[in-house]
Amino acid sequence: MEMSPEEMQKKKEMVLSMCVCANCPSWEECGEEGGYCFPTIAKSGCITEEKGCICGGCPVTEKMGLKNVYYCTRGSEKEQLGM
């Protein structure tokens, strides 16, 4: 079931409020907010090196039932699942 634009925006805000990307060893400070696991947020434009990943311990991962890692470099859950 597709979400309305309003529902997508609310979910995006929830993801960003719970996001722990800035605590990750791979994080590069460049003005991005994180939340790379969310499908409307692109993977990072500045993180190029995978130096460690904390996606598995992120509250968003648990709440949304995500299975993948390195969303910052590999894309959102949907991208990694080929959707």
Query: Sign of the CA dihedral 34, 36, 37, 42?
Result: positive
The CA distance from 3 to 21, in Å, is 24
Per-residue pLDDT tens digits for 32-79:
999 999 999 989 999 999 999 999 999 999 999 999 999 999 999 999
Q: What angle do CA 39, 41, 42 make, to 5 degrees?
A: 100
Query: Is residue 15 within a helix (H) or strand (E), and if so which, with residue range?
Result: helix 5-18
Per-residue pLDDT tens digits for 8-22:
999 999 999 999 999
pTM, rounded to two decimals: 0.90
The CA distance from 77 to 83, in Å, is 9
The CA distance from 77 to 43, in Å, is 11
